[in-house]
Structure 1
Amino acid sequence: MELILAISIGVLGGSGVWLLMRPRTFQLIIGLSLLSYAVNLFIFSMGRFPVGRPPILDPGTSGDPAVFADPLPQALVLTAIVIGFATTALFLVVMLASRGLTGGDHVDGRGPGR
């Protein structure tokens, strides 16, 4: 499980960085999204993977907190997902406005024929 998670974080991070280097704005936005997904998976993996353990304590009982999942990375990832969606929507609106003003979708504002 950890190997699959590490490989997926690496693939998402590498693909995101590769897309960030592309000259088109849509590819840049997708690259930022993939990179944020990789960071979210990395933060989520910091909360350990207790297999076969309950996620919360039963009412009225006390237990060893070391065997339960850490809720802080889960809360951070949920917050990052919401912020990522809002940022992606903002980037798309800015991209559409920029494309309307410049007539192209290159990052530097110049198309291949300019």
Structure 2
Amino acid sequence: MTVYDLDAPTGSGWWHWAVSNIPADVRSLKLNASAGKSPPAGAVESVTDFGTPGYGGVCPSPGDKAHRYIVTIHALETADIGVTPQTLPAMAGFSRCGTVLGSASLTVTYGR
């Protein structure tokens, strides 16, 4: 599962969250499921563009337009794609290649 800011002023967007190896029987995430508080057993949160693993909240810079945040979940044919907390989101995406059975995305907009 990923949360990606398409409109971050970086030239390449901004990864707010990347979590892999969520067990197939998980149907929802608990409130505050990130940062070691209550992620599903076996799930791995990878480093984001904030420089640490875990969810980094959304908040465009003051005066910036509203940003589009893409939340994506992938169903995989394997339970473990070999990521660690140090795996960058782009590398986790590469590790998913060839294992994706299906995906769903939701785009939400947020501004100050």
| TM-score where L is the length of structure 1 | 0.25
Which structure shows the bigger proportion of residues in strand conformation? Answer: 2
In our comparison, the structure showing a higher alpha carbon Rg is 1
**TM-score, with structure 2 as normaliser:** 0.25
Between structures 1 and 2, the one with greater helix share: 1
